[in-house]
Structure 1
Amino acid sequence: MKNLIHKPRGVFLTGFGLLELVIVIGVVSVSMFALLGAGQVAHRAVGEASRRQQAVFLLEEGMEALRLLRDDAWSNISGLNTGQSYALSFIGGTWEATTAPQYVEGLFERTFMLREVFRDTGDNIATGGTLDPETRHAEVRVSWSSRGATSTIMGTSWITNLFLE
């Protein structure tokens, strides 16, 4: 008679074991998808950081190329139209300015533009005053496309006729 009143201990626990298994599978699945998503985001971020670092190196190289153009002959700089966009091309061991678009590694477009520089009566660079034919303001840009958007970094410098050619 005692067996009829009291049910065995394992009867109620079998359904809970199945429920716990379903919950554990759900938690593990959600965790795995979250980790995969985080991994993809991290992978994209590392790739973008790598492209940005390459662009910074190309920007520095562009600034140095302008200085090398100047060192070869001031006419390499003074002969270029101010306000016009140019690209840098490395041909035969020397840098040249060209109006044709140039892509580095098929991804990065590097351009530069020179602007006139004016000086005030104190010989300081100013927005107006006397034109300084021995100085140019250089602006170098590096652009690249990534995930449907264009990214651009820019650097500026002053280029002067150091050797007064």
Structure 2
Amino acid sequence: MFYDKSNQPGGFGTVEIIIVSALVITMTLAVSAALVSVIRLGTSSSNQMQAFLRIDESAEALQIMRDTSWSSSIGAATIGTTYYLERLSNSYALSSTQPTSEDYYTEVVFEEVRRDMDGVLDDNGDVDSDSLRAVVSVYRTADAKFLTDGEFLIHNVYEN
């Protein structure tokens, strides 16, 4: 009598090992891809949040500069020239040199404001010497990537 090996339960075969290995590798790659996507999304959201905060800070900084002295800060700016907003120890300033010491930088370009005879904004109206439109753009310093921009009007309300 001969022993029949085909009737006995056996261990894992080569095919089963290959299938399990393929499943484990596929699952690992899928989880890794998902984690990379989550990290990218988080980084992108962080950059956008920083940019929005910079836009808000810029509006406040320009108002502080206006309140301190329109004629020596905002009023002295050249229309169409790119300026960089710099934080000083207890104030803000406009500079023609791009700062490199921070993760983000803010560009400010001033444009003329024109009004009609009723004081309503009108591209064909007369230049309002006591108002400027500030176009503010935020960039990431590492790669100069544009993140967001905003614009607002600045008025010389104190006539200073």
Task: From the two aligned structures, give the one with the greater strand fraction.
Answer: 1
Residue pair 1:82, 1:116 contacting (<8 A) in 2 also: yes
SS at structure 1 position matched to 2:98:
coil
Cα distance in 2 for residues equivalent to 1:54 and 1:104: 16
Cα distance in 1 for residues equivalent to 2:101 and 2:135: 18
| Equivalent residues, number | 159
SS at structure 1 position matched to 2:150:
strand
Cα distance in 1 for residues equivalent to 2:13 and 2:38: 37
From 86, 90, 93, the counterpart of 1:89: 86
Partner of 2:7: 9
From 119, 125, 131, the counterpart of 2:121: 125
Matched, 1:151 2:116: no
Cα distance in 1 for residues equivalent to 2:99 and 2:76: 20
Residue pair 2:100, 2:141 contacting (<8 A) in 1 also: no
Task: Using the aligned pairs only, state the percent identity.
Answer: 26
Partner of 1:103: 100
Unpaired segments ≥5 residues, structure 1 = none
Residue pair 1:108, 1:143 contacting (<8 A) in 2 also: yes
Q: Rg: which structure is higher?
A: 1
Moved >6 Å (runs of 4+)? none
SS at structure 1 position matched to 2:22:
helix
What TM-score comes out, normalization by structure 1 length? Answer: 0.84
What TM-score comes out, normalization by structure 2 length? Answer: 0.86
Q: Residues 117, 159 of structure 1: CA spacing in aligned structure 2 closer, same or farther, 3 A cutoff?
A: same
Cα distance in 1 for residues equivalent to 2:76 and 2:91: 17
Matched, 1:113 2:127: no
Task: From the two aligned structures, give the one with the greater helix fraction.
Answer: 1
Aligned-residue RMSD, C-alpha: 2.3
The 5 A counterparts of 1:47-66 are: 47-66=43-62
Residue pair 1:138, 1:159 contacting (<8 A) in 2 also: yes
Q: Residues 85, 8 of structure 1: CA spacing in aligned structure 2 closer, same or farther, 3 A cutoff?
A: closer
Cα distance in 1 for residues equivalent to 2:126 and 2:83: 25
Deviations 1:120-165 (A, max 9, x none): 122210111111111110111111167x672331011110111223
Unpaired segments ≥5 residues, structure 2 = none
